[in-house]
């Protein structure tokens, strides 16, 4: 199935995706790899990393951020509060930003957009304020745009994200309990006028009960293609 000239996306399970661009740059959204039970063992050892985006501070989105940053020294993009915390762990090359802004890393544009969720940093038995949870619109050098919604409920301003950025590919949580369920995700597809959607954040734990089949059923009236990737599977 064609994604776009030269861009490959690999689903590493849960909310973690690895993009590889035509010029060989590797972009990871939500660094939960080594500790991610949904990530196939053979995919846990990344071949390299140029850019890492963090939607929010929960362990199932950034537990491996520090280790991966130390190993590969990628550019890191996250909110201000997480950037201070990463800095305290010795992580360099961090671009701190907030919602509405666009960071340019080489020929990749990263726009931080809204998400409705929490974002505490868990350190031992403490919860440190981690700023607000976010989503990202990533524009690759060839103009291809991906919207990763992060962890969120559906919200009416997803329509704005659709109108402003016209994402070619949308990554939406469907697991329920901590995020949208398939009913809300189907409406998100409607608001975004999505063409291609990859469901995420389901099945990792028994509590995350939403399924791609349910999303397909609830989007039958729309023009959207629901692409259910298994962890370890790629689209190129």
Q: Which positions touch Mn ion (CB under 5 A)? A: 60, 151
Q: How many residues touch Ni ion (CB under 5 A)?
A: 2
Part of the chain binding Ni ion (CB under 5 A), chosen from 37-45, 105-113, 149-157, 167-175? 149-157
What's the CA gap between 211 and 208, in Å, rounded?
9
Considering only 150-158, 164-172, 214-222, 226-234, which stretch makes contact with Ni ion by CB under 5 A? 150-158
Q: How far apart are CA 63 and CA 36, in angstroms?
A: 9
Least Å from the CB of residue 123 to Mn ion: 17
DSSP assignment letter at 233? -
Q: How far apart are CA 226 and CA 93, in angstroms?
A: 35
Strands (E), 65-209: 75-79, 94-97, 102-105, 108-114, 121-123, 126-128, 134-139, 145-148, 169-173, 196-200
Tokens of 11: 């689903």
Closer residue to Mn ion (CB): 96 or 204: 204
Distance CA 83, CA 173 (A): 24
Whole-number Å distance between alpha carbons of 38 and 203 = 8
Angstrom distance (rounded) from CA 187 to CA 80: 31
Residue with tokens 């976010």: 134
CB nearer to Mn ion: give 12 or 108.
Answer: 12
- Rank residues 3 and 77 by Cβ distance to Ni ion and give the closer one: 77
In the list 10, 26, 58, 201, the residue contacting Ni ion (rule: CB under 5 A) is 58
**Residue 151 Cβ, how far from Mn ion at the closest point, in Å?**
4
Give dist(CA 173, CA 30) in Å, integer.
13
Does position 132 interact with Ni ion (CB under 5 A)? The reply is no
CB of 59 to Ni ion, least distance (A): 9
Q: How far is the CB of 56 from Ni ion (least distance, A)?
A: 6
Task: CB nearer to Mn ion: give 64 or 151.
Answer: 151
Q: Which of 35, 83, 91 is nearest to 60 (CA)?
A: 35
Considering beta carbons, is residue 14 or 58 the nearer one to Ni ion? Answer: 58
Give the shortest CB-22-to-Mn ion separation in angstroms.
30
Candidates 151, 168, 176, 181; binder of Ni ion (CB under 5 A) is 151
- Contact between 176 and Ni ion per CB under 5 A: no
At closest approach, how far in Å is the CB of 141 from Mn ion? 29
Q: Which residues bind Ni ion (CB under 5 A)?
A: 58, 151
């Amino acid at each position: 199935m064609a994604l776009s000239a030269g861009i490959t996306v690999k689903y590493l399970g849960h909310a973690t995706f690895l993009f590889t661009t035509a010029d060989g740059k590797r972009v990871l959204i939500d660094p939960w790899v080594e500790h991610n039970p949904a990530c196939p063992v053979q995919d846990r050892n990344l071949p390299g990393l140029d850019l890492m985006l963090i939607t929010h501070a929960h362990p199932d989105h950034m537990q491996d951020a520090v280790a991966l940053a130390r190993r590969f020294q990628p550019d890191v993009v996250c909110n201000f509060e997480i950037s201070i915390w990463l800095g305290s762990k010795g992580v360099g090359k961090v671009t701190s930003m907030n919602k509405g802004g666009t960071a340019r890393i080489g020929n990749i544009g990263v726009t931080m957009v809204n998400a409705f969720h929490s974002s505490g940093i868990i350190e031992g038995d403490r919860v440190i304020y981690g700023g607000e949870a976010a989503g990202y619109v990533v524009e690759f050098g060839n103009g291809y745009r991906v919207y990763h919604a992060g962890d969120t409920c559906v919200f009416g301003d997803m329509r704005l994200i659709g109108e402003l950025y016209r994402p070619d590919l949308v990554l939406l949580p469907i697991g329920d309990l901590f995020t949208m369920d398939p009913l809300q995700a189907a409406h998100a597809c409607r608001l975004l006028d999505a063409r291609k959607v990859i469901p995420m954040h389901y099945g990792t734990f028994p509590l995350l009960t939403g399924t791609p089949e349910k999303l397909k059923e609830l989007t039958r009236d729309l023009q959207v293609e629901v692409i259910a990737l298994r962890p370890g599977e790629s689209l190129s």
